Structure 1
Amino acid sequence: MTAASKKLRWQVFSVLRPSEPSPAARRWRTFHLTVLAVGLLAVILLSIDEFASGHRVYLRGAIWIVTIIFLVEYLARLWVAPEIPAYVDKSPTRARLHWIVSLPGLIGLLAIMPVVMMTGGYSISGADTASVFCILWILKLGLHAPAFGTLARVISNERAPIASVLIVFAILLMAAATAAHMFERVKQPEAFGNLPNAMWWAVVTLTTTGYGDVVPLTAGGRMIGSLLMISGIAVLALMTGVLATGFAQEERRREYLRVWDQVSRVPIFASLGVVTLSEIVGKLRTRYYPAHVTVLRRGDPGDSMFFISNGEVEVRLPTGGSVRLDDGAFFGEMALLNRQPRAASVATTRPTTLLVLYASDFYEIASHIPALAEAVENEAKRRREENLGREGKR
């Protein structure tokens, strides 16, 4: 494979990658979601006979276009599969085979099944099999939801407590179904005459759904139902607590790694040791700004300073001039050190990632890391002198 082909494959992979922040990738995601919405709307409208009777040709055409777009996307993703980090140590053929059987590959395959079925002779109507597969396009939304990956990690990390809760759920379910079967089978043989029917009532009651289609009539059955409802609230609350704690811990880990990656790009932090850097990472907050957005306004309170991880900002000075700062620079330190309102406005010139350090955290870090505080103060002094020089020339 030539170098040009590899470069092209990497560029296509970058555009198709869900987490890619580049403008081209964002435009692709917007286009992909728009096509998906159009396809699903066309399938839904096609199932309404009153509406479809006069627009059937257009709706079928829309579905055909959407399926062809998904087919092209599937082939493109198959081609760039060797660029996926998890498959870089495999041959291109093995990488593509692994991708085909992966969850994104299977979802992509389901998305193009209508093309295969229609090519094989199926027509597109509101009730045929091809249209049913079109509804499965909704699964592609999962590829745009990074939280699904987080959910999978949370379930993996918390599998022991989740398994314990599920075991408690199963014990309560079987015990309540058995007791209800014993108490209610004489009076309600259809609803409680066997364990599967009694288990249906137990599931409805334990999950606090309460359809009301099956209700115990005996005193013993009602007592079992009361205890089961109370137990169901406790079990569901316990499961919610486990998942909420897992999500919070996973989000903290992700944010820590994300901030660490951004901090390592700032030269003023790069020379610090790992222990010191870990202390700083815990204090910084990541903020993402699109182009031409005002970050600070003149006169705002000087309660924080900003480090540019990547991107560019324009500092609009009160003298009428402006200064541009890019990767590795920082701003807002003068107002923070002097505890004065902002003397200048700052706006992004292109998409920018900033690290925010609040005043209380800055002074806490400064007490432990004098070198960092000294570097910030020296830069603030240099900028003050530059501003004075500009005013003197005016």
Structure 2
Amino acid sequence: MLSEKTIEIVKSTVPVLEKHGEDITKHFYATMLKAHPELLNIFNHTNQKIGRQQSALANAVYAFAVHIDQLEKIIPDVKLIAHKHRSLGIKPEHYPIVGKYLIAAIKDVLKDAATDEIIQAWTEAYGVLADTFISIEKEMYEEAESKKGGWRDFKEFYVANKIKESEVITSFYIKPKDGSKVASFLPGQYISVRVKTPGSEYTQIRQYSLSDAPNGEYYRISVKREAEEHKPKGIVSNYLHDFVNEGDTIEVSVPAGDFVLNLDNKKPLVLISGGVGITPLMSMLKVASKEQPERDITFIHAARNGRYHALREEASSLGAKVLFCYSDPTEEDIAAQNFDKKGYITSEWLQEVIENKDADYYICGPVPFMKAVYQALVDIGVKEEAIHYEFFGPSMKL
């Protein structure tokens, strides 16, 4: 337990963290990874380059300081991060390393403002936070390993089938090399894929949502090739598309994540996806259609056009009310009338097509898409607690 004095000192640093948080986390990652380059086998290099990891950590540290006297309020966020840590292979021995360089970064960035009293308080506070993560992650590792078909850390899978779903999305059907059954999962969860790409000194780990219903035989991930000119090229996604073929081996973690479909909720279900955000929602759609055939389900997917639209036929075959929104339909799309709205999803359109607003909502897609859809749902009267969402990459808030 932290003393009242320690809590008071940590809370007093909240304004400073709000102003200098990202400077601290940038300095932290730079110094830690220089001293411990082996951790590059775990961290997403692209998120490091574009600053998303630094921003996510700064937000987490800030939230911890704000709620240090009511830590129960951040437990949901801790569990969200812990899921990712377990799927990446973060272990207890990593926490002292992180603590050492995080405290040093606070001291280096804040300079004289980081008094001995502040450094001591933050050292104690970090110890409590680290112990919380270690305890939660221990339970997650044990659960992953003990479940039927489960394992610890990473396991070799081979690609049983590789299917091109659209211009940019390809599905990989993967099975354990040892011939065992695969652990079950909850619709919406993801796996981590670990590969060694040509010319890279370190392994690369990426998390991909499972895009099929649990079946005990295989996992399916549907991967978008990240190759847009205005974005960093996806090292792993391009490697999977270009070099990983049927029969090849990749390493995989046990499914993780808490962005999952609540099958205890009997309200109408509305699933809204954009681009490759269709992947976790496809799993949700398939499971809900099978296990809750009486449930009112609306599935809305937004894509550039038919050439970029993955899993279209599969979604249309499951008995839900299915609507497609194309921002830039082709002449073929227009001639075939194979979409329901041209342009972007708007609150006015959602007002028309969602018959019962008192529903359970799940959204996934690019960040601008999710922000727009989230606001559109709020605008038509949907309560915020009814809207569930997940980001691909470090956690953020809409």
Q: TM-score range by the shorter chain?
A: under 0.3
In our comparison, the structure showing a higher alpha carbon Rg is 1
Instruction: Select the structure that is richer in strand.
Output: 2
Normalising to structure 2: TM-score of the pair? 0.25
Normalising to structure 1: TM-score of the pair? 0.26
Instruction: Select the structure that is richer in helix.
Output: 1
